[in-house]
Structure 1
Amino acid sequence: MNFTSKIFNSHSKEDGDFFLGIKAILGFKPKNLDIYKKAFLHRSMNKRDKEGIPMNYERLEFLGDSMLGTIISKHLYAAVPEGDEGYLTKMRSKIVSRKHLNELGKDLQLIKFVESRIPKSHFGDNIHGNVFEALIGAIYLDRGYQYCEKFIDERVIEPYVDIEQLEGKVISYKSLIIEWCQKQKKTFNFNVYEDTGNDAVKHFAVKLSIAGNVVAKARATSKKKAEEKASKRAYFALQDRMSKPKT
């Protein structure tokens, strides 16, 4: 009896379907299925182990984040021998940015495995990146470093990591605006205030002023998003005066 048959005969049909779904994503057989189940267990389920310790994907997410950073760092160190510490750090940040991880999680359709009492339609984009990192943590615990590296090579580095494209990729428009203002010795200010308007969800509005002049406005569901949105608009409005940042 092969390993897959044992899974179907000794566990529920749900376990068998989960095993096949995870195996298709990993490209190899998972050994301890319970570890992978935990990688998709949302804290809203309020599950605990025999010792009463909460069970959810957050600890695996922490571990996966560390493993991803380590393996990406190793790749960049070998791929860009002329890169100094600052350059390599910026490149790693672009690869493991929250936006990129969310895109990776969406591409793999990991949300379909998430077990939660909250409707999946209510989750924000970060759930996709969170469970992607948790999956990496599960791989490391289940199969070790080599399998973890193999998964990241095949699912992240080979299809998505292009050094030349990454060099021109902007992580944060807010950081670009602040850096430019500091270099140009210009004052800047993000004036943020609540703006509920007619929306059911609370919004925040931002006015970005540079040298006393309002250059961009934006609104979003959080202060951070509103500031980034306003900064992006300011960047494109001022790009004829701003030299493209070197990475």
Structure 2
Amino acid sequence: MRLIRKIFTKSRSPEDGIFFDTIEKILGFAPITLDIYRKAFTHRSSNKTDENGNSINYERLEFLGDAMLSAVIAGYLFGKAPYGDEGYLTKMRSKIVSREHLNELGKDLNLIQFIESKVPVHHFGDNIHGNVFESLVGAIYLDRGYVYCEKFIQKRVIVPYVDIARLEGKVISYKSLVIEWCQKEKRLFHYDIFDDNGIDGQRLFGVRLSIDDKVIAKARATSKKKAEEKASQRAYFAFQEKMDKK
């Protein structure tokens, strides 16, 4: 690590030096190819291209990081839960790498501070945090290989957050839970979605969830999916005792 720092220090600009030092603290080891990490935080709105006209942004690294996260988490669960079948392992992995959890990880590391974009940061939705966390993992894999990638995931994901006993009871989709319960109990359910501009004029989506023709829960959010999930969560709490007995 000292050799890498020494070589990099000779040619780096003050700006590169600050970026290098900050990234090193997050990773726990020194990056080798700094440009890979810059790409990991470049939003498509920057409209950057390489010499061949290919877009330079974090989306390909996000794809790679998603795959690496899944592989490392799958290997961890395979060893830690020898009693779990394929369905159990898949469900547990989904809980660990859920979009909600990845967003929390990105926020905890304040990765949004590095975003290069022509769009103001406050215009991004929460998913930007999880997206750049995945792209960072992809950058680590390209820069330092699988061992360092696994090391980072162990340090930043598995050790502080993965508790198998707790995760077994964690709900990753209230909508799926509500639908499964309604189908099992032969109850009719319906999500009624409508535009709701809200008080401040921001476009929101409203959802009314009805079960057996009775409105059980209402919710608003910036997307249909989020509104449905929020309404489903409220419905779950209304029927929790019955659903938990399913």
TM-score by shorter chain over 0.5:
yes
Q: Distance in 1 between matches of 2:245 and 2:136?
A: 36
1:69 aligns with 70
Match of 2:106, SS state, is helix
Equivalent AA in structure 2 for residue 141 of structure 1: L
1:243 aligns with 244
C-alpha contact 1:8 1:15 (8 A) present in aligned 2 = no
Superposed displacement of residue 2, structure 1 = 4.2
C-alpha contact 2:62 2:138 (8 A) present in aligned 1 = yes
1:228 aligns with 229
Equivalent AA in structure 1 for residue 156 of structure 2: R
Aligned positions of 1:194-213 closer than 5 A: 194-213=195-214
1:112 aligns with 113
Equivalent AA in structure 1 for residue 204 of structure 2: H
Match of 1:192, SS state, is strand
Distance 1:197 1:38, change over 3 A: closer
Superposed displacement of residue 240, structure 1 = 2.1
Instruction: Return 92-101 or 232-241, whichever deviates more.
Output: 232-241
Match of 1:240, SS state, is helix
Q: Distance in 1 between matches of 2:205 and 2:124?
A: 20
Superposed displacement of residue 8, structure 1 = 3.1
Q: Distance in 2 between matches of 1:75 and 1:191?
A: 41
C-alpha contact 1:57 1:134 (8 A) present in aligned 2 = yes
TM-score normalised to the size of structure 1?
A: 0.96
Superposed displacement of residue 235, structure 1 = 0.5
C-alpha contact 2:195 2:204 (8 A) present in aligned 1 = yes
Q: Distance in 2 between matches of 1:221 and 1:28?
A: 38
C-alpha contact 2:4 2:32 (8 A) present in aligned 1 = no
Q: Distance in 2 between matches of 1:124 and 1:194?
A: 18
2:128 aligns with 127
Match of 1:55, SS state, is coil
Match of 2:21, SS state, is helix
1:161 aligns with 162
Equivalent AA in structure 2 for residue 173 of structure 1: Y
Q: Deviation string for 1:89-119 (max 9, x for gaps)?
A: 1100000000000000111111111111111
Aligned positions of 1:1-247 closer than 5 A: 2-243=3-244
Equivalent AA in structure 1 for residue 29 of structure 2: F
Superposed displacement of residue 197, structure 1 = 4.1
Q: Deviation string for 1:174-231 (max 9, x for gaps)?
A: 1100000011111110011112243311111111111121111111221111111111
Superposed displacement of residue 4, structure 1 = 2.0
Q: Distance in 2 between matches of 1:36 and 1:11?
A: 15
Distance 1:142 1:178, change over 3 A: same
Q: Distance in 2 between matches of 1:197 and 1:75?
A: 45
C-alpha contact 1:43 1:55 (8 A) present in aligned 2 = yes
Match of 1:241, SS state, is helix
Distance 1:131 1:240, change over 3 A: same
TM-score normalised to the size of structure 2?
A: 0.96
Equivalent AA in structure 2 for residue 85 of structure 1: E
Instruction: Return 155-164 or 201-210, whichever deviates more.
Output: 201-210
Q: Distance in 2 between matches of 1:63 and 1:2?
A: 28
Match of 1:75, SS state, is helix
Superposed displacement of residue 244, structure 1 = 5.7
Equivalent AA in structure 1 for residue 231 of structure 2: A
Q: Distance in 2 between matches of 1:231 and 1:2?
A: 54
- State the identity as a percent: 66
Q: Deviation string for 1:140-182 (max 9, x for gaps)?
A: 0111111111110111001100001101111111110000001
